[in-house]
Amino acid sequence: MLLRLIVITVGLLSQLGAAEKWSRYDSEHFELLTDGGKGRALEILEQFERVRWFFGTTMQIGDPPRKPRIVVFNTEKRFQTYAPRATAAAFYIGLPLRDYIAIGPTGGGQTRRTAVHEYIHLLVKNSETSLPVWMNEGLAELYSTIDEIGGKIRVGNVIDNHLFLLNNDWLELRRIVAADHQSVEYNKREHVGLFYSASWGLMHMLQLEPELRPKFGKFNELIVKGTPAAEAFGTAYGMTVEQMEARLKAYVRGRSVRVALFDLKFDKAKFRLEPTPASAFDVEMAMADLSMAKRDCATAVAAADSVSARYPEASEPHVTKGYCAWGWGEKSQEKAATEFLAAAKKGTKVPEVYRAALGLMSPEVRRQEGLPILEGALRLTPDSHELVLALSGELLQRKEYERSFQELKRLKSIRRAEVDQYFPIYIQAAWFTDRQPAAQTAALQYERAAASEVAKIRAKQLKAFADYVERKEEMPVPVYVPPTPESGAETLGEPEPMRFVGPKAVGKFAEFQCKEGELKVVLQVGAERQEYLIEDPLKVIIEGGEQGKTVELHCGKQKGEALGIQYFTDEARAKGARGLIQRMKFPDVK
């Protein structure tokens, strides 16, 4: 252990010393760090700005929320320290704080191609479009040759190495379009060149050949929806995979390939940049983050700890350590939550960090820290539906009903995926603030909108709740509404699903006690009456019985329906009951 510690420390000191030799360039849409020369750095930055301008002009693809950071290495040895594969000349990694593109010491036109290739991946990622590997790589290769000629932008220049490989070797198209990131076609040295070459050739043909180009929109639409390529070829082009493969062979082995010219001119007049010395903080955090490309969390955490020691107010190291603990390393939700909470308290500007902190907190920590964290996140992204719903739900649990209702009014519309979260909060907040007609109207809307069987049962329970005339704050319907994550918001590993732990009890539902500030379920098990406490109504799962059977909860004696309960014991919090309810199921718990 001592030897390991010495090695890591020496490595960090060498990086810190090297930071003095690193330069930083800031253009309008990118920042670049390099330990190399000015000429190469400006060439890469100019090409990035050109491509970004071209896509923004022709395809209306927006910028990512934060400037991407380009790291250009001057030596192969240092680049390979972070490269995820030995075959990579550059790589892209999307992290919560920023997107990174790392480029090795390749020279000339290859540098420009590699840079653009990785940037296309970034654009695809930010468009929230899921593409198969071959299409993602083929698209990036096709547009990697963008250049300017005679005042026009040219797309589709021949990549000689790809043509050479395709004229001298071949990889079956069926294998290429079926490959994923774990496939040998994408990872083995003997295949990787052909995989990229064939992916480039296929995208080149589909987008630029006159007969096929008009049909590409339909093909792309099918692929984005998850249709297998073999099926999409048939629907969009009327071809089998074998027919498409034969056409591709003829295309890449013919006497010519097509290019496209766009009558657009990139304005270089404002592109005049001078370097500034890169700070030790920027360089070390970049190296820590790039370590995650290999999922080398030990190195990333060591580097982040080193930065924290010198910059104790910085939030970035906590973000890196949080994601390592969450999905990339130890998979410890407790450690991840601690790091994300620390980053939030130090003022991170990344909304995803606040969301991660909230999602991983224990109930005890959330009761103490949840509200200020939610409010801080909403200051950064005030239009986030997810955060508004989360804050409204938090306020509802704290019995701040008026604030909960007013927060929901910020939403001018709701999405289909938000229905099961929005309506339960709105109905209860409206009812508790003496807006019973609004609660009843919303309950009727929820009954119509509920899609799943569980949601339909919740809707019926909430409809019965909204119809109560007498106002009793101790009798909210115990309905838990899990938050709906934003599409594509998380790429670094998902939190563990909710797990039910603890003992179970099965009996007859004898009584639902609604006393001041306290809800208890009384279960008749044989001759014994057992009491179980509902501590937080919104976090109790209620599940229906066979064939969608529903049970309306009301205070007082019950009809003796069969009921299963799953609970956990905590004598201090159970207030004399046998335990705290996690889940109720009619007729039993399986």
Using DSSP's 3-state secondary structure scheme, residue 94 falls into strand
| Whether residues 408 and 486 fall in one domain | yes
The predicted-structure confidence for 394-451, as pLDDT tens digits, reads as follows 899 888 999 999 999 888 888 888 888 899 999 999 999 999 999 999 999 998 888 8
Tally of domains in the chain: 3
Give the confidence band of 96 by pLDDT, cuts at 50, 70, 90. Answer: confident
Over residues 134-151, the pLDDT tens digits come to: 998 998 898 888 887 877
Spatial contact of 369 and 361, defined as CB atoms under 8 Å apart: yes
Host H or E run for residue 244: helix 241-252
Which span out of 5-14, 171-180, 231-240, 323-332 was modeled with the highest average pLDDT?
Answer: 231-240
* pLDDT above 90 as % of the chain: 25
According to the per-residue pLDDT averaged within each range, which of 66-75, 107-116, 265-274 is highest? Answer: 66-75
Are the CB atoms for 568 and 582 separated by under 8 Å?
Answer: yes
Quickly list H helices, 105-235.
108-126, 133-143, 160-168, 173-178, 184-187, 189-208, 216-224, 229-232
Give me the pLDDT at residue 402, please: 94
Which of 470, 495, 520 lies at the terminal end of a domain, its last residue?
A: 495
pLDDT at position 370 is 83
What tens digit of pLDDT does each residue of 43-77 get?
Answer: 888 888 888 887 766 665 667 778 899 999 999 89
Whole-angstrom distance, CA of residue 14 vs CA of residue 78: 12
| Letter string b/e over residues 161-197, b meaning 16 or more CB atoms within 10 A of that residue's CB | ebbebbeeebbebebbbbbeeebebbeeeebbbbbbb
Q: What is residue 284's predicted lDDT score, i.e. its pLDDT?
A: 92
What value does the mean pLDDT take over residues 513-541?
A: 80
Question: Above 80 in pLDDT, residue 248?
Answer: yes
For 278-302, the pLDDT digits (tens) are 999 999 999 999 988 887 888 889 9
pLDDT band (50, 70, 90) for residue 155? confident
128 is a domain residue: no
Asked whether residue 366 is domain-assigned, the answer is no
Does residue 376 belong to any structural domain of this protein? no
CA distance 520 to 505: 15
Inside any domain, residue 463: yes
User: 206 with 238, same domain?
Assistant: yes
80-86 average pLDDT score: 86
Q: Are both 165 and 245 inside the same structural domain?
A: yes
Place of tokens 């180009």: 213
Tell me, yes or no, whether 563 and 485 share the same domain: no
Residue 85 within a domain? no
Supply φ then ψ for residue 151, to 5 degrees.
Answer: 80, 10
Q: What is the DSSP letter of 434?
A: T
Q: What pLDDT, on a 0 to 100 scale, did the predictor assign at position 574?
A: 72
Range of the domain at 419: 404-495
10-24, 207-221, 283-297, 327-341: which has the minimum mean pLDDT? 10-24
**Residue-wise pLDDT tens digits, 473-495:** 444 443 434 343 333 322 222 22
pLDDT band, residue 471 (cuts 50/70/90)? low
Q: Ramachandran region of residue 434, left (φ > 0), alpha (ψ -120 to 50) or beta?
A: left
Q: What is the CATH classification number for the domain harbouring 541?
A: 2.40.50
Lowest average pLDDT, out of 65-74, 170-179, 440-449, 565-574, goes to 565-574
Same-domain status, 520 and 444: no
pLDDT value at residue 10: 34
pLDDT value of residue 188: 65
Question: Do 470 and 554 share a domain, yes or no?
Answer: no
Could you tell me the pLDDT band of residue 305, with boundaries at 50, 70 and 90? very high
Residues 542, 462 share a domain: no
Q: Is 184 helix (H, G, I), strand (E, B) or coil?
A: helix
First to last CA, the chain: 46
- Tell me what the mean pLDDT of segment 330-359 comes to: 83
Look at the block and give the residue holding tokens 């007859």.
Answer: 508
The answer to whether 33 touches 23, Cβ cutoff 8 Å, is: yes
Q: Hey, which of 203-217, 496-510, 548-562 has the most confident mean pLDDT?
A: 203-217
Per-residue pLDDT, 561: 84
Where is pLDDT greater, at 65 or 19? 65
Check whether residue 549 and residue 579 sit in a common domain: yes
How would DSSP label each residue in 338-391?
HHHHHHHHTT---HHHHHHHHHH--HHHHHHHHHHHHHHHHHH-TT-HHHHHHH
- Does 167 lie in the same domain as 205? yes
Structural domain contains residue 472 = yes
pLDDT at 497: 34
Residue 190 has pLDDT above 50, yes or no: yes
Q: Are residues 530 and 510 in the same domain?
A: yes
Q: Place 237 in a pLDDT band, splitting at 50, 70 and 90.
A: very high
Average confidence (pLDDT) over 385-392: 87
Query: Is the pLDDT at 11 greater than 70, yes or no?
Result: no
The predicted structure's pLDDT at residue 530: 92
Helices (H), 401-543: 401-408, 419-432, 436-449, 453-466
Provide the pLDDT confidence category of residue 115 given band limits of 50, 70 and 90.
Answer: confident
Closest CA to 288 of 322, 254, 256: 322
168/252 same-domain check? yes
Report the C-alpha gap between 143 and 369 in whole angstroms. Answer: 47
* Mean pLDDT value of segment 510-525: 82
Per-residue pLDDT for 180 more than 70?
A: yes
Q: Would residue 242 count as lying in a domain?
A: yes
Question: Which domain-ending residue is among 227, 258, 289?
Answer: 258
pLDDT for residue 551 is more than 60: no
Task: Lay out the sheet containing 260-262: strands in order across.
Answer: 147-149, 152-155, 260-262
**Residue where a domain stops, chosen among 472, 495, 518:** 495
State whether residue 322 is helix, strand or coil: helix
Tell me the range of 33-37, 62-66, 359-363 where mean pLDDT is highest.
33-37
Residue whose pair of structure tokens reads 């009301």 in the numeric block: 554
The pLDDT, as a whole number, for residue 311 is 93
Cα Dmax for the chain = 92
Contact 347, 378 (CB under 8 A): no
Query: 533 with 555, same domain?
Result: yes
- Looking at the chain, the whole-number percentage of residues with pLDDT higher than 70 is 80
Q: How high is the mean pLDDT of the chain?
A: 79
Q: What's the pLDDT score for residue 488?
A: 30
DSSP 167-182: HH----HHHHHH--TT
| pLDDT tens figures, 405-419 | 999 988 888 888 888
Is there a domain that residue 445 lies in? yes
Residue 58 one-letter amino acid: T
Res 483: pLDDT: 41
Q: What is the pLDDT of residue 111?
A: 61
